[in-house]
Amino acid sequence: MYEGGGKMVKTFWLITLILGLALAGCDRDLPQEKPGQGGKGAMKTIVAVGDSLTAGLGVAGEESYPAQLEKKLQADGYGYRVVNAGVSAETSSGTLSRLEWVLTLRPDIVILETGANDGLRGIDPQVAENNIREILKILGDRQVVVVLAGMKMVRNLGAVYVGRFNGMYPRLAEESGAIFMPFFLDGVAMQAGLNQADGIHPNVAGYKKVIDNLYPYVLEAIKRKEGK
Amino acid sequence: MTDPILAADRLSKHYTLGGQKITVLNEVSLAVAKGEFVVITGNSGSGKTTLLSLLSGLDLPSSGRIAIAGCDITGLTEDQLAPLRNSLTGFVFQAFHLIPSLNALENVMFPAELKKDPEARAKAERLLDRVGLLPRRHNFPEQLSGGEQQRVAICRALINGPEIVFADEPTGNLDSRNSDGIIRLLLDLHDDQRTTLVMATHSQSLAARADRVIRLNDGRITDADRGEQ
Amino acid sequence: MNLRFLFREMVHSRGQAVIFILCVALSLVSIVAINSFRRDVRSVIVSDARSLHGGDVIVQAHADFSPALQGELAEVEKGQGVTALTTWEFYSVARRGDGGAALFSNIKAVDQGYPLYGRVELLSGREFIDVLAPGRAIVAAALLERLNLAVGDRLLLGNTSLEITDVVSRESSRPVDFFNFGPRIFVSTADLASLDLVGKGSRVNHQVLLKLTGESRPDQVAARLQARAATGQEQVTTSTNTGSRVKRFFDNLLFFLSLISVFTLLLAGIGMQSSLAALLRRKVKSFAILRSLGATGWFLLRHYLVLVLLLGAVGCGLGIVAGLLLKQSFSGLLAGLLPENIVLGASLADVVEGMGLGLVVVVFFTFLPLRGIEEVKPATIFRKEGGAGRSRTTTRLLVVGGLLLLFGLVVRQLEDVWTGLYFMAGILALVSLVTVLVGGLLRLLGRANYQALALRQAVRSLLRPGNASRAIVVTLAAALAVLLAIYLVEQNLRATYIDSYPADAPTLFCLDIQTDQKQGFVELAGGAVELFPVVRARLQAINDSRINREAELQRRGDSLAREFSLTYRDSLLDDELLVAGEALFGRPDRPGTLPPVSLLDTVVGMGDIKLGDILDFNIQGVPLRAEVTSIRSHTRSMLYPYFYFVFPEKILRAAPQTFFAALKVAKEEVAQLENRIVARYPNISPVNVGESAVELGRLMEKLAVMITFFASFSILAGGLILVSSILATRMARMEEAVYYKILGAGSAFVLRVFLLENLLLALLSGGAAVLVAELGSWALCHFLLDIRYDPYGLASLALLAMTIGLVVLLGLLSSVTIIRKKPGRFLREQL
């Protein structure tokens, strides 16, 4: 039990960290990207924009869905790299505000997965809806093909809230013409064996399932991109 | 006797010990002339040391008066006594009482330094040379033998050229060879400088050389006679 | 055994004996108090953990339990003395009964009979169990405030409407929760169906709490259930194996207090030793006489051993009683911090332990001086002799044995071998340092030439052969150094956590402010807002070597593998200073083209990063390579916002960012402002830290009082050492004073010598103490506590002045009698 004073201090640090910076203790590791590399000019770029579900909280970097997706695509002969641009604990407002930065990666395709943290914090769904609409508009203006991943909010927030939240994704997809994956965690959410102990974040097996579900939509996006 | 250098008038000293009053000195009167060598003798416990410390002003009598060089010292404060002790009298003890933190030379110099005598060091070295201890002047008391310590003590008593030197059994802690040396030294000094010498001692041989012997018994003078007799 | 001899010896040196007894008592007081307190706290923490976790065994999952677990639970519940209770905890959105404002809240649905342990206190003073019923809700005060509701109003939750019947004032299962996302709402499990919030697709925390009053033991029951629980999904814990913040808090507090009381013990031990040594020094002559009469060394040793043990036992008794009395005062000192159900009693264990501890300490600190008795030679009657050790090897063996014993004791008290080792090494280092320092100073003092007789005399008697002044100065300096160090560290802790804390700490933090909301937010908050851009990023590599994610996660505390918040600005903040590098972003003509980055010193320590190192960041998918150009330190309270990595604005301006705001808002306006902010910018999350800040400040205040209180025992021990050392040298001083007077020195001279000698002693001890304490405290603050160090020069000066005043005063008091006394009398009495 050594570190008497020290421990106390460390506790304070922790408090400060949480207080001051509201950081989730995020364990993901981004695949290392070197700009200009990995493309040989021909590589096209998919940017996975999202929150901890994209970042891969609680699983190793190479197990996160963007890394797995890249592997699968390249194994299938698609010349795409997938950049993990997930930020844990991010709400849709955060995603909107960093969109310009993400666009400096010049993505051909964006997989957009956001809004879950808005819901889990009980933020008015209208806020998330406006944010995502704005994001989709910017991406559309830049000719970026978008896969919009839908989200369904947990039931305990109440039927009113859940109804408003869940309803926004199909509406947004329709408005924007984005490729729509109705539920990002379809078949994974609330499945004990596919999630980590926190009951929210998929484990490795869970991400496999996510990839399986997601893959056709990505292929469709590629087709749309190449078709142009 | 005209103008005694030291005069005591009916000195008494009592102690209270365990509620019992003990009389150590009882109405002792005496006078010592300048340059005289007086020996106070008596059995152990007869009051010799007490008498000597009263005469020298190291202790206060319960009653009676003492005058040194015509000055009554019984009413003096310790601070008034200080210059008197420093220059007028010198003391040699049975147990030497050198200052343990000072070396031989510094012990001798100390009284001279107290009165800011610029010659302190020179005088001290001269005295130490005379008693044959100059080579050992940097030794500390505990590094000296008893006889050596007593010689240093005698030098210290003499450095300011006192009128009277009191010596309390100066050879009491020494063997006969050392005793002889110390006695010779004291008598030489007495003879050279005509310093008055008041000494308490058991020694019959010393008593024999005194100008006068005062015998104490149970705190009273029983007999005072001329040494020559 | 000659009892009369023993008695005579004791009476003859009663002054030192009293000091010895006091030292023994003092060495035990605080340690007995703390150990007994620790026992009480630990026993109460078990029961406290129950109220914290709500049961002896806790089974939880994020969904309904698996059939296997349910079956096993049903079996367990059949057992005798088993009470079970279900709770569901989840977040939801509550609305005003009129369908108006909504608020994200934390719902806890509980069975009738909740809580099994602990209490939920209600504002009305009624019992929770009597108030909560189907159709009713008990809510946190914050909810009423935010939704502008009152008790008696209705609240819409899920598919139903509930009546607000009371307000929660305190929950033992949520003692100090700083960061709850939403206010609490208690409802009855009977309402769950009509709420329709829990079911497939809900995110809930489902618990079954078990209270075991019968035969069954929590760990056995837990093991049974664990065997049936689905791994990773269903958790079974007992209240004792669940880490508790309260336990950790008290562990830390008691550790720190233990540290102080071990210091006190050592100081008191030194006091014991020096008082005994002084006592024995006075006796050397009579020992020599006794030996010359045929008494063996063992005879003397035996008697003194018995004497010391006797005095030691009296001291122990006194110490134990005082310690247990002292412990009673803790309830006052720690009011509000102590678990409410704690009973501060005295047990046999306290007494036995105290006695044992005391005897060990007495034996350790007295065997060296006692051994000296055996070595007194009859010849000492005739002349002082240096007591050359007779058998150095045995003495050394004894010292080593004693040190081991002491080490065992320290380890036992601090409950960790390494900490004990560090502590002992620290003490050894302290003593050697002080010894060397004092030795050097004394030698310097001895070399110098003094014109003034009194000064020379003072120096001479300080340095006289056989004088114990070096030992006294070392002891005193070590004691004072420790005391000053405790004070300095405490002051620095206080400055870091309390003084700088509530005064300039922000009361409200707002997260996630978007760029386009900045303007509006500042207007809304009304001026005094500090906004910090936050750019989320992750450190990928240092000098091209990748961050080892696994190793980082093993690390306790902060980790380089987590996501960091970068910020950008072009200058230092008010509370920052550069500790390395020429400017925040280096010289303008810096070679290389990499963007510069400035690091906070704390993160530098985490990764062994130096100036000029190359860091690879990944800023949300976009790589950034930067060179370390400066290292900063920040001086303000830990709760003031700070950033590990600072970039120039041009590098990160385009990066995705949110703003983090720190606001100072009057306490009573916080809730209103929160409402205004959320109403206008629903994405912004306000965190009310003012409340937590005040709470924390109060906590620190209490801790400081506690620590000062304990440190005062060390001060007392230091005082005893001082008195004892002055008593020890009193004889020698008196002797010298008498000689001066015989040789014709006036009282002014004698006084001057004493004054100067004491002054030198005090200056040496105090000076060495200040030097060592400043150095030690700085090291402690810098390396162990990681807080900024302020040397508090005034405190050091005050200590010096106090030491001088005390030493000089005590020294003069002890020698003033001799100035008026006739020298003849002293000679007669002493010879």
CA C334 from centroid of its chain's CA atoms: 14
φ, ψ for residue C678 (rounded to 5)? -65, -35
pLDDT of residue A39: 41
For residue B166, which of B212, B199, B203, B192 has the smallest C-alpha distance? B199
Q: Left, alpha or beta for A193 (phi > 0: left; psi -120 to 50: alpha)? A: alpha
**Count of pairs with CB atoms under 8 A, one residue in A, one in C:** 225
List Cβ neighbours of C566 (8 Å cut-off, separation of 6 or more): C534, C535, C536, C537, C617, C619, C643, C644, C645, C646, C647, C652, C655
Assigned token pair, A168: 């926004």
Summarised one tens digit per residue, pLDDT across range A101-134 is 888 888 999 999 999 999 988 888 999 999 999 9
Beta bridge partners of C85: C209
Q: What is the ipTM of this complex?
A: 0.84
Interchain CB contact of B210 with C (< 8 Å) = no
List Cβ neighbours of C831 (8 Å cut-off, separation of 6 or more): B95
Look at A212-216, C164-168, C761-765 and tell me which has the smallest mean pLDDT. C761-765
Average pLDDT, chain C: 80
Higher-confidence position of C391 and C622:
C622
Question: Which one from A93, A124, A198, A212 is the annotated catalytic residue?
Answer: A198
pLDDT of residue C379: 62
pLDDT of residue C501: 46
CA B227 from centroid of its chain's CA atoms: 19
pLDDT of residue C828: 66
Q: Which chains have at least 3 CB atom pairs separated by less than 8 Å from chain C?
A: A, B
CA distances in angstroms from C512 to A91, A153, C515, listed in the order given: 9, 21, 9
Radius of gyration of chain B (CA): 17
Higher-confidence position of B199 and C555:
B199
Summarised one tens digit per residue, pLDDT across range B154-170 is 999 989 888 899 998 88
pLDDT of residue C151: 93
Look at C67-81, C517-531, C722-736 and tell me which has the smallest mean pLDDT. C722-736
What confidence tier does C300 reach under pLDDT thresholds 50, 70, 90?
confident
Whether residue C512 and residue A156 make contact (CB cut-off 8 A), yes or no, is no
Q: Which residue of A lies nearest to C506 if distances are taken between CA atoms?
A: A20
Q: Is the pLDDT of residue C270 over 50?
A: yes
CA distances in angstroms from A93 to A131, A140, A179, C513, C565, listed in the order given: 6, 18, 21, 9, 17
Question: Which one from A29, A141, A201, A212 is the annotated catalytic residue?
Answer: A201
For residue A211, which of A189, A185, A193 has the smallest C-alpha distance? A185
- Per CB-CB distance under 8 Å, the chain A contacts of C105 are 122
Interchain CB contact of B46 with C (< 8 Å) = no
Assigned token pair, C257: 């207090």
Whether residue C736 and residue B101 make contact (CB cut-off 8 A), yes or no, is yes
Higher-confidence position of B87 and C380:
B87
pLDDT of residue A24: 29
CA torsion sign, A12 to A17 to A20 to A24? negative
Residue found by looking up tokens 């003096």 in the block: B76
Ordered DSSP codes for B66-92: EEETTEE-TT--HHHHHHIIIIIEEEE
Assigned token pair, C365: 């600190």
- Per CB-CB distance under 8 Å, the chain B contacts of C749 are 82, 114
In angstroms, the separation between the Cα of residue C57 and the nearest Cα of chain A is 19
Interchain CB contact of B101 with C (< 8 Å) = yes
Q: Is the pLDDT of residue C556 over 50?
A: no
Interchain CB contact of C745 with B (< 8 Å) = yes
Cβ(B64)–Cβ(B9) below 8 Å: yes
Summarised one tens digit per residue, pLDDT across range C471-513 is 778 877 877 887 788 778 877 776 766 554 445 567 788 888 8
pLDDT of residue B75: 82
What confidence tier does C384 reach under pLDDT thresholds 50, 70, 90?
very low
What confidence tier does C552 reach under pLDDT thresholds 50, 70, 90?
low
For residue C741, which of B104, B65, B89 has the smallest C-alpha distance? B89
Q: Which residue of B lies nearest to C739 if distances are taken between CA atoms?
A: B99
Q: Is the pLDDT of residue C628 over 80?
A: yes
Cβ(A113)–Cβ(A77) below 8 Å: no
Q: Which chains have at least 3 CB atom pairs separated by less than 8 Å from chain B?
A: C
Assigned token pair, C45: 């923490």
- Per CB-CB distance under 8 Å, the chain B contacts of C464 are 100-101, 140
Assigned token pair, B6: 């030291």
Number of helices (H), then strands (E), in chain C: 24, 21
Quote the Cα angle for C316-C318-C320, to 5°. Answer: 65
pLDDT of residue C572: 83
- Report the interhelical angle of C297-333 vs C348-374 (nearest 10°): 150
- Per CB-CB distance under 8 Å, the chain A contacts of C200 are 155, 190
pLDDT of residue B3: 74
pLDDT of residue C555: 53
Our answer on whether A and B touch (3+ beta-carbon pairs < 8 Å) is no
Q: Which residue of C lies nearest to B117 if distances are taken between CA atoms?
A: C453
Summarised one tens digit per residue, pLDDT across range C390-449 is 456 766 777 787 778 778 877 877 777 887 788 788 778 888 888 888 888 888 888 877
Q: How many other CB atoms sit within 10 Å of the CB of residue B119?
A: 11
A112: amino acid identity, one letter: L
pLDDT of residue C236: 87
Q: Which of A4, A23, A155 sits opposite C199 (nearest CB)?
A: A155
Is residue A176 part of the annotated active site? The answer reads no
Question: Which one from A52, A64, A88, A176 is the annotated catalytic residue?
Answer: A52
Higher-confidence position of C524 and C253:
C524
Ordered DSSP codes for A92-152: HHHHHHTHHHHHTT--SEEEEE--HHHHHTT--HHHHHHHHHHHHHHHHHTT-EEEEEP--
Q: What is the pTM of this model?
A: 0.57
Look at A169-178, B45-54, C147-156 and tell me which has the smallest mean pLDDT. B45-54
Ordered DSSP codes for C742-770: HTT--HHHHHHHHHHHHHHHHHHHHHHHH
Beta bridge partners of C625: C616
DSSP character at residue A64: S
Higher-confidence position of A110 and B221:
A110
For residue C680, which of C525, C506, C529, C528 has the smallest C-alpha distance? C525
Cβ(C51)–Cβ(C117) below 8 Å: yes
- Per CB-CB distance under 8 Å, the chain B contacts of C451 are none
Is residue A97 part of the annotated active site? The answer reads no
Assigned token pair, C803: 């030491």
Whether residue C553 and residue A124 make contact (CB cut-off 8 A), yes or no, is no
What confidence tier does A25 reach under pLDDT thresholds 50, 70, 90?
very low
What confidence tier does A145 reach under pLDDT thresholds 50, 70, 90?
very high
CA C623/CA C498 separation, integer angstroms: 40
Q: Which residue of B lies nearest to C386 if distances are taken between CA atoms?
A: B142
φ, ψ for residue B68 (rounded to 5)? -115, 125
Segment C655-663 shows an average pLDDT of 84
Burial code of A74-104, b = ≥16 C-beta within 10 A, e = fewer?
eeeebebbbbbbbbbbbbbbbbbbbbebbbe
Summarised one tens digit per residue, pLDDT across range C157-167 is 988 999 999 99
List Cβ neighbours of C43 (8 Å cut-off, separation of 6 or more): none
List Cβ neighbours of C413 (8 Å cut-off, separation of 6 or more): C31, C35, C258, C261, C262
Is residue A198 part of the annotated active site? The answer reads yes
What confidence tier does C377 reach under pLDDT thresholds 50, 70, 90?
low
Cβ(C272)–Cβ(C27) below 8 Å: yes
**Count of pairs with CB atoms under 8 A, one residue in B, one in C:** 89
Q: Which of C463, C746, C831 sits opposite B79 (nearest CB)?
A: C746
In angstroms, the separation between the Cα of residue C457 and the nearest Cα of chain B is 8
pLDDT of residue B141: 87
- Per CB-CB distance under 8 Å, the chain A contacts of C198 are 155-156
